[in-house]
Amino acid sequence: MAYGFVAVNDSGIVQIDGAYTNYSLTAKGTVTLTEQSMYLGASGAGDVYGTCYIADVSYTAPDPLFVLENANGTPVVVISTANVGTNMWQTRLMALAPVSVGYFVFSSNVVVAGAGYGLIVYDGAGRPVASSNMKYPLIRQVVSGNVVGAGPDYGQYNYAAATSFSATFAPGGGRIGVGAIRTPSTQFNGSLLSGAWRGNIGFGGWMTGSGTATFSTFNWRFGPSSPNPPNFQYDYQSALDYGGILIDVSNL
């Protein structure tokens, strides 16, 4: 049999032995988003760029989980996470204001940290799989839903209905970060809608506080101001939903 110990949590009994796996805190920090120009899409007048605030966070970790803590009251969105080398990653954040946010990176590579007495469990290859001194991602709630329409790949929707959407979750207690973020992104499809007006691109962002997390969407609309844009936008095969893991980061 595998040696280890038994832990009891709110969901029952967990056997922590050589076959057990979990994530531990690898890195944390803060970053400030600065003003930059970001490519949005193409229109009849050529490429379209928008002014926003961006920060790139680089880190090294196998199988990373990136968690964002944003208590500034301005939605911040994870635009992308790119693999830039062996276990090397870069996550891009975007907002519509110059904010500073906190981030936490969890990894499948167990970090044995902390001073004093403790307990470490190893697998058969001698790798640590758990430590009483490591920092775990304490999951409070897993959330998901639709921004508009019946689900993913929803097509046409009314502009006014999609201009703002928010949902607030109260997992209870502590500072909350949001990890494993799926962000709605409405991709420009290049169709001619009305005259020279060309389309819209939408993003979603998270705001967090003490015991709460709020998701909201915002949209860039590009094209001539006159004549007025049509009442509908056509954003086919867009992931108009959201999802995230709410993690208590109070003790990290």
Q: What pLDDT is recorded for position 65?
A: 94
Question: Of 32-46, 84-98, 206-220, 221-235, where does mean pLDDT reach its minimum?
Answer: 221-235
The domain limits of the chain are 1-22+110-136, 139-248
Average pLDDT over residues 90-99: 93
Would you state the structure tokens that stand for residue 37, as one six-digit string? 């120009």
Select the highest-mean-pLDDT range: 46-55, 80-89, 216-225.
80-89
Count Cβ atoms within 10 A of the Cβ of residue 20 and give its class: 0-12 exposed, 13-18 middle, 19 or more buried: middle
Q: What pLDDT is recorded for position 156?
A: 42
Count Cβ atoms within 10 A of the Cβ of residue 82 and give its class: 0-12 exposed, 13-18 middle, 19 or more buried: exposed
Q: What pLDDT is recorded for position 215?
A: 81
Per-residue exposure over 143-158, b if at least 16 CB sit within 10 Å of its own CB, e if not:
beeebbbeeeebeebe
Which comes out higher in pLDDT, residue 33 or 141? 33
Q: What pLDDT is recorded for position 88?
A: 95
Q: What pLDDT is recorded for position 108?
A: 84
Average pLDDT over residues 128-150: 78
Closest alpha carbon to 170 in 204, 217, 216, 209: 209
DSSP, res 42: E
Task: Evaluate if residue 233 carries a pLDDT over 50.
Answer: no
Sheet of 241-248, strands arranged across: 24-32, 100-107, 65-69, 176-182, 241-248, 138-146
Tell me, letter by letter, the H, E, C secondary structure of 56-120. EEEEECCCCEEEEECCCCCCEEEEEEEEEECCEEEEEEEECCCCEEEEEEEECCCCCCCCCCCCE
Non-local CB neighbours of 71 within 8 Å, separated by 6+ positions = 175, 207, 208, 209
Q: What pLDDT is recorded for position 147?
A: 64
Non-local CB neighbours of 15 within 8 Å, separated by 6+ positions = 4, 6
Percent of the chain with pLDDT over 90: 24
Average pLDDT over residues 212-231: 63
Q: What pLDDT is recorded for position 201?
A: 64
Average pLDDT over residues 148-152: 53
Handedness of CA 221, 222, 225, 231 (dihedral sign): negative
Task: Evaluate if residue 155 carries a pLDDT over 50.
Answer: no
Q: What pLDDT is recorded for position 159?
A: 38
What does the mean pLDDT of the chain come to? 76
* Confidence tier at 100 by pLDDT (50, 70, 90): very high
pLDDT digits (tens, 9 = 90+) for 49-82: 788 999 999 999 998 999 999 999 898 988 888 9
Indicate yes or no: pTM above 0.95. Answer: no
* Segment (H or E) for 236: strand 232-238
CA distances from 136 to 114, 132, 213, 248 (A): 13, 10, 20, 10
